Amino acid sequence: MKKTKKCENYKCEKCKCENCATSERVSIPKIGFKIIITVALGLVIIFVTALEICRALASLSAIPALPAPELSEGMRGELGIDKNINEKTIDNYLGRSDSVYRDMRMLKDEANYEKIDGDSYISGIVKGFEVVSLPYLMTPENLPEEVGKSYSGETLFNCNKVTETCQPNYKESMAILEDLFPKNKNIFLMCGGGGYAGMTKKLLVGLGWDENKIYNVGGYWYYEGNNKIDIKMTISGADTYAFWRLNYHTIDFKTLHEV
Amino acid sequence: MTKKKPFIFGIVALVFLVALGFTLWKIFDRNSNEKPLNPPEVVTTLDREYVGTDGKQIEIAKETEDVNGFLNNLIENKKSFVIYVSLPICEGSTAEFKSYVHDFQKENSLSFYYLTSDYAKETMIFNTVKYFPSVIIVKEGEIVKYLRYDSDEDAEYYKSYDGFSKWFKNNVEY
């Protein structure tokens, strides 16, 4: 049916529009048109509202992006301590589902830190950090002479100071490391002063981890935030170490297979 | 009116140029009056009791239980001395620093006070010095210079005997 402008708002009952007599024309009811428009508008409003609600919910559950790792100035930078995420700011980055938190100290270091008025025991930790002792991964270097030797037992890796490369001592070494430090997550590292954490980052990066996902947060000694868990405590006048408060990862070397 | 336009334009341009010139002159003049980036170091002369010794490490915590009182006494008496504050934990790359300081003391027959960071945290030192290890120079009861563990400028002074020696001799007379 060919329409002309004349016929647009009318419907022809008997004949082609252009042939209709004025008396034969019947006006199209406008109520139907209004209903359609109203329903369409309603749907659009509902859709937009739903979209905004979804967006709001998504933003609530979204994890904010982390600043890229950046070295601190001076000797703190030499240890690899991060400029943005460190002892002063770590509280803002705790509890992220896309990250793991590792404290690299031993529960009791075999090096005698009491000789330099330090503490060989782990005296406290930041909430959320789990203990993975660096000396079980590799032999730490550059410890103060006075404290003597640190742990000298088995390690997952054997590192060469000159070539700065590390080789696995066990067939399971890499799998254990990947389990403790998932490659698909951000990794926050701490220790007493930042040294062990720095060595751990070097080890991981040398073995293929993405350095942009690993943060040396620094040393617990400098931490003044709100998430301290005291491990050293005094009961009946004697010092006690509440290791039961720690999430501690141990490695049973006897069950591993040498390379 | 149209003949006046270039004249007005000229006046405005002249005023603009004068203002620009004045501003630039002020900027350069101010810069020339600013202190140089590396001002001359404050040179401290150590009190005689710390000089000509056998390079003794005076461990304050072993001398007294009241570390704070001991330090306050030195300050009240306007003493000029040096304190080494250590961080007795997994410091890694600064493990050798203490030996540089000690060797320097022995070679130059100077006595320094020694303190660990845990004690220093409870004293007036921590108001100024936040990261350790550090060597702190006190002149007539006031901290006038210290090695900054978080400063690029000071990093070289931590890394070798010569580095530390250079920093110390730039700041202390004995």
- My answer on whether B67 and B21 are in the same domain is no
- My answer on whether B62 and B123 are in the same domain is yes
* Nearest partner of B138 among B151, B149, B160, B123, judged by Cα: B123
Reported as a single tens digit per residue, the pLDDT across B88-129 is 876 555 678 888 999 999 999 999 999 999 999 999 999 999
- My answer on whether B23 and B58 are in the same domain is no
User: What residue has token string 């529960």?
Assistant: A107
For chain B, the C-alpha Rg in angstroms (whole number) is 26
* Nearest partner of B84 among B36, B22, B147, judged by Cα: B147
**pLDDT higher than threshold 90 for residue A62:** no
Reported ipTM: the value is: 0.73
pLDDT (average), residues A27-46: 81
User: What residue has token string 């006690």?
Assistant: A240
- My answer on whether B58 and B80 are in the same domain is yes
- My answer on whether B28 and B50 are in the same domain is no
* DSSP secondary structure letter of residue B53: S
Run of H or E including A133 = none
CB A217 within 8 A of CB A85: yes
Question: Helices marked H in B45-116 — which ranges?
Answer: 60-63, 67-76, 97-108
SS3 label, residue A144: coil
pLDDT (average), residues A109-130: 84
- My answer on whether B71 and B156 are in the same domain is yes
Q: Percent of chain B beyond pLDDT 90? A: 59
pLDDT (average), residues A194-204: 94
**pLDDT higher than threshold 90 for residue A243:** yes
Residues of B near A (Cβ–Cβ under 8 Å) read: 61, 86-96, 98-99, 116-118, 130-131, 148-155, 158
**pLDDT higher at A230 or B32:** A230
User: What confidence category does residue A35 fall into, taking pLDDT thresholds of 50, 70 and 90?
Assistant: confident
**pLDDT higher at B2 or A255:** A255
SS3 label, residue A216: strand
Q: Looking at the 3D structure of chain B, how many domains does it have?
A: 2
Supply the range of the domain harboring residue B156.
Answer: 44-173
In angstroms, the CA B1 to CA B8 distance is 10
Q: How far apart are the first and last CA of chain B?
A: 81
Q: How far is A131 from chain B (nearest CA, A)?
A: 15
Q: Which two tokens stand for residue A205?
A: 């990066």
- My answer on whether B50 and B7 are in the same domain is no
What domains are defined for chain A?
5-61 (no CATH), 74-255 (3.40.250.10)
- My answer on whether B93 and B152 are in the same domain is yes
State residue B141's pLDDT score. 94
In angstroms, the CA B156 to CA B148 distance is 11
* DSSP secondary structure letter of residue A69: P
User: What confidence category does residue A130 fall into, taking pLDDT thresholds of 50, 70 and 90?
Assistant: very high
Q: Let me know if residue B127 belongs to a domain.
A: yes
Q: Let me know if residue B71 belongs to a domain.
A: yes
Question: CB–CB of A196 and B93 under 8 A?
Answer: no
Kindly identify which residue of chain A lies nearest to residue B61, measuring between CA atoms: A117
User: What confidence category does residue A161 fall into, taking pLDDT thresholds of 50, 70 and 90?
Assistant: confident
**pLDDT higher than threshold 70 for residue B162:** yes
Q: Let me know if residue B8 belongs to a domain.
A: yes
Q: Which two tokens stand for residue A140?
A: 């730490």
**pLDDT higher than threshold 90 for residue A154:** yes
**What is the model's pTM?**
0.75
**pLDDT higher at A120 or B153:** B153
Q: What integer best gives the mean pLDDT of chain A?
A: 87
CB neighbour class for A90 (10 Å; exposed up to 12, middle 13-18, buried from 19): buried
Instruction: Tell me which of B67, B89, B100, B154 to substitute to probe the interface with A (most A C-beta atoms closer than 10 Å).
Output: B89
- My answer on whether B26 and B48 are in the same domain is no
In angstroms, the CA B57 to CA B99 distance is 12
Question: CB–CB of A75 and B118 under 8 A?
Answer: no
Across the A:B interface, residue pairs with CB atoms under 8 Å apart total 90
Reported as a single tens digit per residue, the pLDDT across B134-150 is 999 999 999 999 999 99
Q: What integer best gives the mean pLDDT of chain B?
A: 86
Q: Let me know if residue B53 belongs to a domain.
A: yes
Reported as a single tens digit per residue, the pLDDT across A3-26 is 445 555 555 555 555 555 555 555
Q: Let me know if residue B92 belongs to a domain.
A: yes
State residue A140's pLDDT score. 85
* HSE-up of residue B86 (Cα within 13 Å, Cβ side): 30
User: What confidence category does residue B36 fall into, taking pLDDT thresholds of 50, 70 and 90?
Assistant: very low
Which member of A75, A76, A193 has the closest CB to residue B90? A193
Q: Let me know if residue B22 belongs to a domain.
A: yes
**pLDDT higher at B89 or A153:** A153
Q: How far is B109 from chain A (nearest CA, A)?
A: 22
In angstroms, the CA B76 to CA B90 distance is 35
Q: Let me know if residue B39 belongs to a domain.
A: no
* DSSP secondary structure letter of residue A121: B
Which residues, 6 or more positions from A235, have their beta carbon under 8 angstroms from its beta carbon?
A: none
Judging contacts by C-beta atoms under 8 Å, the chain B residues touching residue A222 are 130-131
- My answer on whether B94 and B128 are in the same domain is yes
- My answer on whether B148 and B104 are in the same domain is yes
pLDDT (average), residues A172-198: 96
State residue A27's pLDDT score. 58
Reported as a single tens digit per residue, the pLDDT across A208-223 is 999 999 999 999 999 9
User: What confidence category does residue B37 fall into, taking pLDDT thresholds of 50, 70 and 90?
Assistant: very low
- My answer on whether B30 and B113 are in the same domain is no
Residues for chain A: how many in total? 259
Kindly identify which residue of chain B lies nearest to residue A104, measuring between CA atoms: B90
State residue B35's pLDDT score. 45
**pLDDT higher than threshold 60 for residue B27:** yes
Q: What is the CATH number of the domain that holds B159?
A: 3.40.30.10
**Angle at alpha carbon of residue A89, lines to A101 and A142, rounded to 5°:** 60
State residue A60's pLDDT score. 66
